[in-house]
Amino acid sequence: MINFGSISGQRAEAGAAAYSATKGAVHAWTRSSAGAWGADNIRVNAILPAMHTPMSRTAGKHLNEEQLNERYWRNYHGIALGRDYGDPDKDLGPVMVFLASDASHFITGQLLPVDGGQTNVR
């Protein structure tokens, strides 16, 4: 099982308490379920993506141009690989295939950031 978490579930995001709380719940459920179902050989992990999605594109629609530029600069410089958010097909898809495959047979209960190093840089 692959759940979608978020770095927002691990750290507070100003103005996004409900979103952060729900992602924190996904993280706890992932770890709890991994422990409960491991004996049945059911692996449960969560990915924490930093990807361009319809939600990420509309999240800043209330911002003016200066604020959008600041947000872009912060995101770009906050990613260790030196680029903007990842591409779901190129960056996230292969990780999901790996987690769903037998190659990850000894991985469970993990929260895996797929974010170009953003969580380690900030």
Minimal CA–CA distance to 43: which of 113, 114, 102, 92? 102
Does 76 participate in catalysis according to the annotation?
no
Asked if residues 107 and 46 have their Cβ atoms less than 8 Å apart, the reply is no
CA distance 80 to 43: 29
What are the tokens at 29? 């459920």
- Catalytic residue selected from 19, 72, 76, 85: 19
List active site positions: 19
